[in-house]
Amino acid sequence: MVRLEDITLSYRRGENPALAGLSCTLEAGSFTWLMGASGAGKSSLLKLLQLSVRPSAGKLFVMGAPIHSARRQALPGLRRRIGIVFQDFRLLPHLSVLENVALPLRIAGRREAQLMADAQEMLRWVGLGHRMEARPEALSGGEQQRVALARAVVARPALLLADEPTSHLDEAQARRVVSLLQEMHRMGTTVVVATHSAAMTEEHPAPILRLEHGRLLSHG
């Protein structure tokens, strides 16, 4: 699903690279925890995987496509097959919860009647069927994160990325979000979750990709 070969990522010339010499493979259908201290490069790696940045050096393959050399026009199609859950939710405040969830389907050009049915189903799946018309600001942090998760998975992505999805949530909400991520994994989606929480990784055992100062410390 994802292959990194000697990847380096620098945001500015002359600065220390955010990622250096990173090589690893994430198999299709796998669940991977991404761990490391702040500044270890977790967010940079997720940005690479969600195709928000391109590697400065090395080769990156996502769903078989060579991202390091792909034409810019080829990327939107790949991005539509990747779901992202941001740490800060990044819901659009001027849209309702339902419209936020329907957004990836609308971008993908789905028919109006079908996309609304899918978005409603997804909101019911995350337990927010009763808040469809609410604006994001009216929801709690946990509810907003579940909306963000519903939006990330509504288009049935092949790869689901989550950046510290539980960092702003209480324990119960965090458990709920993680169990939803695992449910996606059970349905065949490749899932990568960045987290600080060792307790969570112990509670839900899965391969861990550990980063330190932008380098791969261990994977397994």
For residue 129, which of 153, 172, 97, 90 has the smallest C-alpha distance?
97
- Integer Cα distance of 153 and 150 in angstroms: 5
For residue 211, which of 69, 50, 53, 7 has the smallest C-alpha distance?
7
Binding of residue 103 to another protein (CB under 8 A): yes
CB atoms inside a 10 Å sphere around CB 111: 9
Sole binder of another protein in the list 40, 58, 99, 122 (CB under 8 A): 99
Give the range of 88-96, 139-147, 176-184, 196-204 binding another protein by CB under 8 A: 88-96
Which residues within the stretch 64-83 sit at the binding site for another protein (CB under 8 A)? 72-73, 75-82
CB atoms inside a 10 Å sphere around CB 143: 20
Sole binder of another protein in the list 1, 34, 84, 178 (CB under 8 A): 84
Binding of residue 85 to another protein (CB under 8 A): no
Amino acid at 130: H
Binding of residue 196 to another protein (CB under 8 A): no
Show the site string, 152-191: x = touches another protein by CB under 8 A, - = not: ----------------------------------------
For residue 192, which of 24, 18, 34, 65 has the smallest C-alpha distance?
34
For residue 215, which of 68, 55, 33, 20 has the smallest C-alpha distance?
20
The distance of closest approach from Cβ of residue 41 to another protein in the complex, given in angstroms and rounded to an integer, is 18
Answer for the pair 185, 149: CB distance below 8 angstroms, yes or no.
no
Sole binder of another protein in the list 15, 113, 202, 220 (CB under 8 A): 113
The distance of closest approach from Cβ of residue 96 to another protein in the complex, given in angstroms and rounded to an integer, is 8
In sign, the C-alpha dihedral spanning 184, 52, 86, 211 is positive
Per CB under 8 A, residues contacting another protein are 50-54, 72-73, 75-82, 84, 90, 92, 94-96, 99, 102-104, 106-108, 112-113, 116
